[in-house]
Amino acid sequence: MKQIEVVAAIIQCGKETLCVQRGPAKLEYISKKYEFPGGKIEVGETKESAIIREIKEELHLDIIEPKFFNTVHHQYPDFYITMHSFICLVEHKDITLTEHIDQKWLKIDELSNLDWAAADIPIVQKLQAERI
Q: pTM for this structure?
A: 0.95
Q: Bridge partners of 93?
A: none
CA dist., res. 129 & res. 124, Å (int):
9
Q: Residue 130 — pLDDT band, cuts 50, 70, 90?
A: very high
- pLDDT of 67 higher than 70: yes
23: containing domain = 2-130
Number of domains in the chain: 1
- The CATH number of the domain holding residue 53 is 3.90.79.10
List, for residues 25-54, the tens digit of each pLDDT value: 888 888 999 999 999 999 999 999 999 999
CB hemisphere CA count around 122 (13 angstroms): 14
